[in-house]
Each structure stands twice: as C-alpha cells, then as structure tokens.
C-alpha cells in the first residue's frame, strides 16, 4: 500500500470528538463558529461527553473544575526547583506533567481533576519564571477567569475573559493533529493519563506543531525593533529559504476558520493595549503572503499577538496552547482507551537487503 508522507489525508481511525471534514471544524458535530462564544467549561463537557450539558450539569461541572484548581504542596516544591533559566518553558512543562502523575494526593486522577491541575501548573510555571508568588483559584469565578488570574496575578475584566475564552475554545481540539495522535498512540497501550499527556506535550514542543506561535511573534518583534519594511523582510526570508511561520495549513487550503475569528480578537485587544503597531504589521504581512503565495494565516498567526497582549512572554505561548488543548487530548485519550485497540502500524523497509554477518 502506498501512503503519502506524513499520512496526509489518510483516515487512521474513527472519532466522535471533532472533525475537519470539508475544511469545516466541528466539535461533536457543532460548528466552531457557533461555539466560539460558548463558555469554555461547556465546550470541555461537549468534547468529553459528545453532548451539551444541561444548566445544572454545567454549573456543577464548572464548580468541580474550579475546586480542583489547586496543586499538592509537593508538586509546587518540585516545579519551583525545575523552573529556572535557560530551560525553555515547554521543557519545564514536559517534566511537570510527569511530576503531576507522581505527586498525586489521591489514588487515581480523573479528567476534570487533571485538566484543572494542568491549568494551575502552567500558570504556576509562568509566575515562578516571573519571580512572582503563586496565586490561588477563587470560588465563584469561572475556569477562564481563574486561569487568567493565576498566570497574571490580576482579576481580568469580563471583556478580557470573553476574549481569552474564545482563544481557549478555538484551541481545545483539532481532530488527529500530531500531539493528539501521539496521545492516542500511547493511550492505545492502556497507559495512564499522565503518560499520554506527557507524550502529547513532547509532540507539541516541536516548532512545526505548537512552537509556531512563538516564532510568529519573534518575527514581529524583529521587524518592529529593527524598523525593517515588513514586506521586504518577508521577501528576504523566503529568498533565503526560510519558512514564514503562521501561514498555511495541511487541511485548510482556503483559510483556517479559527484564524478568521482570532483576527478580530487580535485587532480588538491590540487596540486596547496599545499594540496596534503589531497588528498593522500582521496585516501587511498577511496581504503580501496571500499575494505572493496564496497562503492564508493559520491559528498560530493571530494567537501570538493575543498572548502578547496578555503580557505573556513569547516563550510561554506554546504552554498556553497546551493549556487549551489538554481538554481535547483528554477526550481522545478516553475515547482511544475505550476502543481497546493497540495502534501498531507497519512500515515499508527501503534499506539494504541480503546482507550477512561475517563469520569469525
């Protein structure tokens, strides 16, 4: 059987979690454009149960998640010890996810507790890197409001909560992307949740998957700080054989639907935080890239600016991606383990044959 490189377009299994069929992103059958303003907790429930919760279920689910946004003291001590320069935050997160599975204060964690703990751990890493004290979740607030508070130290406005909620919803899942497929491969062995999530984080760490948002903002910083013409900068980079991060997508040939939504969020928050110059640069680059290559921005392009406007260090951008995507990872892990089938593909050997070890 001849297969395309990278399994592009190959259907390897079935799922009820999400779909990108016909370049339309849906979660359990609901178009993402209709879910963009839905509460993050509601979307997580949908991904995990493939149905929307009732009002009472949503209220209880939110309370449960917020109540679990706390880390065992042992975990905090270990995260503090490993969080130091010059380690990249994703390296710290990779170790932290594994630590969460070995510093439990209960016999076995379930998805709600794992998601809550991971969000809290990511916020803690950010606070420790910034030399700031770790904050504690507030009862009565939602998950997104608490998450922003935990990593920023300040209670966000309702408008900021709504914007970040949209970001988290749009990043919550995306079918069988590299990190999700990695999680499912590990889950197919019936490994524990933390082993599956650690593997997913390792896959996300690569710049061709989750690391693109960091490189997008690095490009914007370089252009603005050096005063270069953005179009000429892009031309020079492409002439040198460098990839312009934040453009193109294997599935969305006519534009990433998430980027369309995030563009408006980026424009709004850039204006509110005096970062209009960055948005202007993005628009100039976007227009040129389409003219020169017919490539559209993907989800990483505008997310980079949004994260910057939330005063996040660009090195933590991919951790933010992980914070959002954990909801989807957990949905796929549960689904794969219930399937009970070991993922073990075959390969085509193309090396030398008919070789024999010399006799001694």
Q: Kindly provide the b/e burial profile for residues 7-38, where b requires at least 16 CB atoms within 10 angstroms of the residue's own CB.
A: eeeeeeeebebbbbeeeebbbbeeebeebbeb
Cα–Cα nearest to 145, from 131, 159, 125, 161: 161
Catalytic position from the list 256, 300, 308, 332: 300
Which two three-digit tokens encode residue 199? 């593997």
Instruction: Quickly count: other Cβ atoms within 10 Å of residue 187's Cβ.
Output: 27
Whole-angstrom distance, CA of residue 194 vs CA of residue 187: 10
Within 6-107, strands assigned E span 18-19, 26-27, 30-31
CA 60 – CA 185 distance, rounded (Å): 32
The residue whose two tokens read 């085509």 is 348
Residue pair 252/298 in contact (Cβ under 8 Å)? The answer is yes
Q: Is 56 a catalytic residue?
A: no
Q: What are the C-alpha distances in Å from 311 to residues 116, 190, 207, 319, 359? A: 22, 39, 22, 14, 66
**How many CB atoms are located within 10 Å of the residue 155 CB?**
13
State yes or no: is 332 an active-site residue: no
The residue from 171, 174, 249, 296 that is catalytic is: 249
Length of the chain measured in residues: 360
Tokens of 209: 């998957």
Nearest-10 Cα torsion for 105, 111, 116, 119: 110
Report the catalytic residues.
249, 300
């Amino acid at each position: 059987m001849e297969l395309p490189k990278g399994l592009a377009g190959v259907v390897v299994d079935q799922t009820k979690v999400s779909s990108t069929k016909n370049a339309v992103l849906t979660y359990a059958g609901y178009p993402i454009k209709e879910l963009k303003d839905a509460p993050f907790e509601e979307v997580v429930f949908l991904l995990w149960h493939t149905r929307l919760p009732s009002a009472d279920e949503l209220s209880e689910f939110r309370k449960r998640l917020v109540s679990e946004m706390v880390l065992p003291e042992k975990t905090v001590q270990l995260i503090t010890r490993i969080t130091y320069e010059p380690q990249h935050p994703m390296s710290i997160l990779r170790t932290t996810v594994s630590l969460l599975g070995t510093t439990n204060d209960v016999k076995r964690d379930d998805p709600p507790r794992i998601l809550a703990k991971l969000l809290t751990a990511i916020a803690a890493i950010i606070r420790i890197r910034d030399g700031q004290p770790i904050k504690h979740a507030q009862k009565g607030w939602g998950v997104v409001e608490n998450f922003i508070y935990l990593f920023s130290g300040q209670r966000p406005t309702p408008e900021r909560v709504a914007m970040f909620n949209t970001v988290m919803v749009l990043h919550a899942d995306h079918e069988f992307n590299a990190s999700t497929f990695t999680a499912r491969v590990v889950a197919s062995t019936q490994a524990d949740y933390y082993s599956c999530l650690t593997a997913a984080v390792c896959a996300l760490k690569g710049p061709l998957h989750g690391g693109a948002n960091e490189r997008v903002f690095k490009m914007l910083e370089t252009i603005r700080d050096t005063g270069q013409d953005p179009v000429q900068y892009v031309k020079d980079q492409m002439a040198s054989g460098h990839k312009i991060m934040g453009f193109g997508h294997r599935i969305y040939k006519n534009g990433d639907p998430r980027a369309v939504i995030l563009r408006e969020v980026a424009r709004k928050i850039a204006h509110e935080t005096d970062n209009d110059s960055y948005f202007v640069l993005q628009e100039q680059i976007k227009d040129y890239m389409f003219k020169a290559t017919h490539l559209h921005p993907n989800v990483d392009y505008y997310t980079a600016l949004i994260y910057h406007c939330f005063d996040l260090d660009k090195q933590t951008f991919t951790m933010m991606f992980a914070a959002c995507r954990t909801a989807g990872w957990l949905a796929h892990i549960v689904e794969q383990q219930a399937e009970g089938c070991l993922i073990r593909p075959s390969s085509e050997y193309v090396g030398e044959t008919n070789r024999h070890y010399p006799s001694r």
